[in-house]
Amino acid sequence: MAKKALLGQLSDLDIRLLRVFRAVVECGGMSAAELELNIGRSTISRHVKDLELRLGLTLCHRGRGGFSLTDEGQEIYDATLRLLAALESFRSGVDDLHQRLTGKLTLALFDKTVTNDEAKLHDALRLFADQAPEVDVDIYVEALNTIERGILDGKYQVGIIPAHRTSTTLDYHPLFSEQMDLYCSPGHPLFDNPDLDGDDDAIRQHRYAGLGYHSPNMELSRAMKLRRRASAYDQEAVATLIRSGRYVGFLPDHYARFFVEQGQMRRLDNRHLHYTVQFSAIVPHAPKPSRLVQTFIDCLHLAHGDEIDTGAES
């Protein structure tokens, strides 16, 4: 059996190869990564092959069957995210000493916040761009548990999530709230009889579509003993199930408003089956946030306060 190569001290070339590998994974293949990296596919392929030789591992499968990671490739990708996040943190720390804001801000959002009038994330990003013009911003939209894990793993620097439980490993910065109501669509037996105040049993008889991970959505549905017959992992998936006419489900009122105005959904009136969610920004409890991250947190607080002038009506 051939002896596998062992990775010794990391060099600048190794870091470059890892950055290329990360881009290939996140773009879903080498062809798709050409535009992101601004280098040819043959060069990208050679870089990935060089990294595999350097590590002594097969990181991915590529060919007619498409691009996919091996188990080892997934582990290397996860480790790469942690390494590059640590390097970015180091660079931010050095920049702090020079009172400069440079580098990259990685932000992860829970989905469907942009239609919420109470969410002023766009204002915060405008303020941040004005204060830190040399900083690049990457924004991801992820599930709640993915954001929490990404913050702890160092993949994301700031997360915006609906509060559902607290962890001593995270710091929370309350920002805005969201009203969640229960909806159904034409074709559902409850669509023509939406006044169900006090009639919880009538709703429990019907199939419920809910989020498939720990969240306020899951907590309330369990407490109310709703029959979850379909699991979704973002709000758009819940909306799609509701529009089938075969499920009821919770949606943010600001997101459902369009469907209601088009006659494609109706809110079910029941005093028990609605809830309000508080959204917070989360960052690791330790170490202390870099000046870059703290600047963005300050922008979030300012944007969600009374002192900001958006220049337009909300």
12-80 under CATH 1.10.10.10, yes or no: yes
CA distances from 49 to 32, 54, 144, 221, 253 (A): 17, 9, 35, 49, 50
Domains 12-80 and 98-176+278-303 share a fold: no
CB-based contact 216:162 (threshold 8 Å): yes
- Separation of alpha carbons 102 and 292, rounded Å: 8
As a whole number of Å, the end-to-end CA separation of the chain is 67
**pLDDT at site 7:** 64
Looking at the chain, the whole-number percentage of residues with pLDDT higher than 90 is 50
| Domains of the chain by residue range | 12-80, 98-176+278-303, 178-276
Average pLDDT along the chain:
87
* 98-176+278-303 homologous superfamily: Periplasmic binding protein-like II (3.40.190.10)
Three-state DSSP state, 88: helix
**pLDDT at site 257:** 96
**pLDDT at site 96:** 66
Report pLDDT digits (tens) over 271-291.
Answer: 777 889 999 999 999 888 888
Report pLDDT digits (tens) over 46-70.
Answer: 999 999 998 999 999 887 778 889 9
pLDDT surpassing 90 at residue 214? no
Report pLDDT digits (tens) over 67-90.
Answer: 889 999 999 999 998 888 888 778
pLDDT range class, residue 259, cuts 50, 70, 90: very high
Average confidence (pLDDT) over 99-106: 84
pTM of the prediction?
0.68
122-161 as b/e, with b when 16 or more CB fall inside 10 Å? Answer: ebbbbbbeeebeebeeeeebbbbbbbbebbbebbbbbbbb
- CATH code reported for the domain at 178-276: 3.40.190.290
In this structure, what token pair is assigned to residue 62?
Answer: 């590529």
**pLDDT at site 197:** 57
Report pLDDT digits (tens) over 172-187.
Answer: 999 999 999 999 999 9
**pLDDT at site 137:** 96
